[in-house]
A and B are shown apart, each in its own frame.
Chain A
Amino acid sequence: DGGITQSPKYLFRKEGQNVTLSCEQNLNHDAMYWYRQDPGQGLRLIYYSQIVNDFQKGDIAEGYSVSREKKESFPLTVTSAQKNPTAFYLCASTADRGHEQYFGPGTRLTVT
């Protein structure tokens, strides 16, 4: 079955630690995205990548980093520099930028 997987579903970390969220897709999509969602809020774009070995900052990139070494994978690292890291993180991919994006199930990160 084609789709997007994110792991883990729930993640707990202590303040000051970096943490990496996984996102894998087998849809053969070129573009991949990371969004952050806070309660009662819409989706805010963190980073996106249109092609392997290339990525761009979204609206709220500070305190985050990404890599795109393989077409299928787009991991997100939440660094200790991110002031309010506790949130629901969503990964998405699309075959054509500006068209239908397909989302993974999300990772809920809690930092205490």
Chain B
Amino acid sequence: GQQLNQSPQSMFIQEGEDVSMNCTSSSIFNTWLWYKQDPGEGPVLLIALYKAGELTSNGRLTAQFGITRKDSFLNISASIPSDVGIYFCAGQPGGSQGNLIFGKGTKLSVKP
């Protein structure tokens, strides 16, 4: 079935650093969504993208729907300690009215 490749799997941040992560697919997607999950909690929707090339911000977070419709990027600027958690991408494959497919997540931790 369809799969989303999310990278990196994990990364360490130092307060104040900018962070980037991405999701790619071998086929086109209609929708890209980005979620954040804190330990023991449900994922919270951060940004939703519906159009190729779309660039949307939510505070220090910016996400883009790739022009090829096969990828999406999430950037976090000037990271703060509460940014730690797991970030998931999700999308609806193009040409389908089907359910969302989720990436396996990028785990953000604080540098020791």
Contacts and interface: CB of A to CB of B under 8 A. Distances in A.
Interface of A: 4, 6, 33, 40-43, 45, 48, 58-59, 88, 90, 92, 97-106, 108
Interface in B87-112: 88, 90, 92, 96-100, 102-105
Contacts of A41: 104
Contacts of A101: 33, 45, 90, 100
Interface of B: 1, 30-31, 33, 35, 40-45, 48, 88, 90, 92, 96-100, 102-105
A99 B43 CA distance: 15
A97 B99 contact: yes
B99 A99 contact: no
B42 A106 contact: yes
B92 A98 contact: yes
A4 B42 CA distance: 10
Contact of A43 (B1, B48, B102): B102
Contacts of A59: 1
A41, A98, A101, A102 pick with most chain B CB within 10 angstroms: A98
B92 A99 contact: yes
11 contacts: A33-B99, A98-B31, A98-B98, A98-B100, A99-B31, A101-B33, A101-B90, A102-B45, A103-B35, A104-B42, A105-B41
